[in-house]
Structures are given as structure tokens and as C-alpha cells.
A and B are shown apart, each in its own frame.
Chain A
């Protein structure tokens, strides 16, 4: 039977929620179109991770297990994906949109003579292609796109679909794979600034984002305090990551991470379109800025016009009261 295959993103043994959202969507499309929905895990402990994916309803969970997949490297990942596609022959291969999947999407499509649709926010099937919507022009415009044939490979923005658990008897099938270090064309020498155990910004339910207005130590402290109170992840505007105040992996915007949390609190961020492109799909947006004309107020559900040093302390205090009551 024709298959919709979802690639399950794994980081340090943890399954990324965004890839389970994609799997939930593929399950739904498979049901509507009489197709099969399968999953693919490529990880040093893929078979172990497969157990965690079973409750999300793929018919078959294909695994490729090798120590080489400990860190992202495009050469072995491409070889594994090409091997899996040759064996499974899916109509669709869907990824959550991450820096890793963006790294290989084009090359894999070229390798498989497949269509590629990047960073879509919706997708559906026709008889022989995939229809999708994707934001363009710094996310000001939505384009309706279509692949011309199967196989179609796509990456899907996080938060585009809800997670739906589905209990089925998944079968785990390991795909034989070998990779010799001599096949590595590029050399990964080290990884710096790995964020480790912190809350994953792209999947956090609450995001506190710091902008130029919060660049000094006092501002950073307040942002940290608010984030830890709300169990949120910290993000930053390009101005602050460029200034080296926050790690570049925390940049939110067109070039950085795209987030869609339940609650987004923009602290001292003016709201340039490149920033808004990365956060406009947040459910509730709070903006704190002393400039009443800052464009961020045009999209904020709750705008607080004021100096963040005067606004944040009572804001945090009031939230503490609410949380403890």
C-alpha cells in the first residue's frame, strides 16, 4: 500500500514534539485517503526510541540504528534517508522543520528525483501530488503551492497541527545500514554552545523574548526571572544575538527559530517584520515597550506601554500572586 512516511526527529534520545505533530497529520491523511502512515527513526538508539512513538499510531516504524547519528551530519543522514526511501518507496516523506531537516531537504530531493516543499504550514494530498500552504515575503503573504509528482518531500513548521495519540499495533522494522567514516566528506570538529537541558525554544509553550530594550544586565535578569516563573523558554531578537548577549540558537525570526507558543511575551522588542515572521502565530502575544508606536503593538493581544524596568517588577509580582493562589 502507498505510504506517507514521517521522519521522527530525535535529540538526545528525546522525540521532538513537532515531528509527532507531523505524524498526527499524516495519520489523518492516510485515513482519509486509504493510505498507510509509517514512521522513520534514524538514531543511535532508534529501536529504543521506537517504543515512545508507538502510541502515536504509525503502522510500521522503520529504524536505522548507527552510532554515527549521535550528532547531525548531512552525509550519513542523507545516505540513511536515501536507503530508507529506496526500500519503502513512500508517496510522501514529511519532516518537522528543523535546522537538521532544512540541511538535507534539497540534497535528498535531488538525490531521489523528488519534489521538495519547504517549511509548509498546511498540507493535503491530491491524487498524485501534495498541495500545501507556506508563508513567503517575510511571512506577510501565504502562497499555495503544489508538487507535480510523488515522491514529495516536505518540512512542516512546528505548531501547524495538533498532536493526536492513536493506539495501534505498530511493527518495528530495522533497515540494515552501514557507514564507514571514510564516506564522511565533511568533518564535524566540535559543537559549541549546545543548549543541553534547557527548554527547547521551538517547542516551548511559553516564550519570553528579549529585545534591544532589555540588553543590559538588569533587563536580562528580569527576563530570566519571568521565564523561570512561567516555566518558559528565553528567546531573543537579532539585535541581542548579534551583540553576543544571547546565544545565536535563541534568535527568533525569519532567519532564526519560528515559534508558536501559547504565550509569547516580547520584552523591549520593537517588532521588525523579520522578527514578527518568527512569532506571529503565537496564540497570545504580550508586548512591553516604551514606544507607543512600536509595530509590535499592532499584533499584540495585550500591549503594555511603559519602561520595562518599571513594568516587569510589578508584572512578575502579580503573576507570582496568581500562581500561588
Chain B
């Protein structure tokens, strides 16, 4: 059995961000493996350890520099990586990414495809289910737990009011929440081994996907700082006194009681 995890290199949302002329200025040295994808890699590795999955592979679409993120996943324990190389600057949206991934998976073997449920920078959460639809596969999103028995995968999906226990036949697609696990930190041994693990490099044109103008269906025009919410009043001192004071202000000043 083989699980392939789709991963992405993204800006660290905890790193400082500047906006200049409506564009984001970020230090690309602070780019990291998307946290949700890290959970997807971890989930695949746990299944491999517990159920003897033969292969865990990762596939990434991104510029040359993103190769370091493939190495990270290999250092965690994935067996092999594929790098679909793009130009440094591109305007792909989820629709285009999903088509590229569909082109990649079209003539390859896999049992399950895992994705992070969203990118931590844009939070769109579209690519996983788009990919499933393009490939005509069953899928579930926002998995917070995964179990395997007799080669069939059961996901626990966080729904609106409860957790849905869903069986997904193979081949299928699962998008993973970071609530599923704590991704392992690569060991020194893992990092050493990752250097000898294979990474296939292919270009967008190799995939034979026709990325015409219609393949990108949305664009980002600009960015702006969120209007900052100002701190109000901070009350310090005798607990009993300040607690009662704030309770009264909520009634008389804020009018919310």
C-alpha cells in the first residue's frame, strides 16, 4: 500500500510581515512546511509504523528553494519525494494547483492521497477536495483522527456539531487537521538519511497539464493591514473591586448585559 502526501512550503505566520504597496514582504528564509501538511505527513508515518504501509511519498509544487521542505518531510521519515518545479513567482490559485496535482496523480499508483486541510498562510482549504473531484475519488476533509483496519481507512472528521466517523475506500483523498497529532521533529539520524533519499524533479510542462488562462480562476489583488484593534482599559488591583467594576461597565458603558 502507498500513501502520497501533498505538501507545500508556506510563510511562517509567526514571522514578522510587512506590506509595501499592497504587496506582502516576507523573508523567504522563514518559509516552512505548512503545519497542516506536517500533520498529514505524521499521520501517514504513523499508519506506516502501525500497519506496514509499504511507501509514504510526498509531492510538492513550488520553486527550487522549496526543495528544503521536501527534505524536511523525508527527514521526518517519508521514503521519497517529488518536486514539481515552478518559477519563483507564479499566480497559481488552488484551482491551478489542484489541476497540476491531478495531472501528476493521473498515471501514478497510490492507495490514498493525504493533504493538509488548508495552507496556514491563506486558509482557503480548497485544493484537497478539488483534487479529489478532478480525479473522481471519494474524499473527506478536516480529519482529526485516522484508523486503518483490513486495508480500509476510517477518518474521524470534525463536523459542525459533532465528529463524523467516515469510512473511505481506496483510492481516496483525506485532508488532515493539525488537531490530529503533533508532527515529529526530525532526528539527527533522520536528517542524515534524508540526504540519501530520492527526490524526483519534474517540470510543470512534463505533467502535460494545459494551464491555459482559464485554469486560474481567482487572483489576489492586494494586501492590507488589518485595522488594529486597540487595547481598551486594563484593570489591575484588588480582584473583588475590579471584577465588580468591569461587570458594571459592561452594563452601563458597553451595554452588553
Contact = CB atoms under 8 A, between A and B. Distances in A.
User: Is the contact region of chain A dominated by helix, strand, or loop, or is it mixed?
Assistant: mixed
A168 interface: no
B169 interface: yes
Contact of A300 (B160, B161, B232, B257): B232
B256 interface: yes
Interface string B124-167: 11111110111000111110100000000010011111111111
B250 to A, nearest CB: 7
B179 A255 contact: yes
Contacts of A303: 231-235
B222 interface: yes
A146 interface: yes
Contacts of A99: 142, 158-160
Contacts of B196: none
Contact of A319 (B94, B177, B236, B247): B247
Please classify the interface of chain B as helix (H, G, I), strand (E, B), loop, or mixed, using the class held by over half of its residues: mixed
B242 interface: yes
Contacts of A312: 243
A124 to B, nearest CB: 12
Given A116-B94, A307-B239, A311-B239, A111 B133 contact: yes
Nearest to A301: B232
Given A106-B128, A141-B225, A186-B138, A304 B256 contact: no
Contacts of A263: 250, 254, 256
B245 to A, nearest CB: 9
Contacts of B247: 314-315, 318-319, 322
A273 B226 CA distance: 13
Nearest to B254: A284
Given A11-B160, A248-B158, A299-B229, A319 B257 contact: yes
Contacts of A143: 122, 220, 222-223
A302 B122 contact: no
A273 B139 contact: no
Nearest to A71: B164
Interface in B174-218: 177-179, 214, 216-218
Interface in B40-94: 94
B23 to A, nearest CB: 11
Nearest to A317: B244
Contacts of A319: 247, 250, 257
A119 interface: yes
A319 to B, nearest CB: 5
Interface residues of A, number: 96
Interface string A75-107: 100100000000000000000001110111111
A298 B233 CA distance: 10
Interface stretch (A33-41, A42-50, A190-198, A212-220): A190-198
Nearest to B10: A137
Contacts of A285: 229, 232
Contacts of A286: 246, 250
A63 interface: no
A188 B168 CA distance: 9
Contacts of A238: 179
Contacts of A113: 214
B109 interface: no
Contacts of A317: 244
A146 B221 contact: yes
Nearest to A132: B218
3 closest A-B pairs by beta carbon, nearest first, are A185-B138, A194-B162, A301-B232
Given A102-B142, A141-B225, 20 more contacts: A75-B138, A106-B128, A110-B129, A116-B95, A118-B126, A141-B19, A141-B24, A142-B223, A145-B220, A149-B217, A189-B154, A248-B179, A255-B178, A301-B233, A302-B233, A302-B249, A303-B231, A314-B239, A322-B251, A322-B257
11 contacts: A99-B160, A106-B128, A109-B130, A110-B129, A118-B124, A238-B179, A242-B179, A248-B144, A305-B242, A313-B243, A314-B239
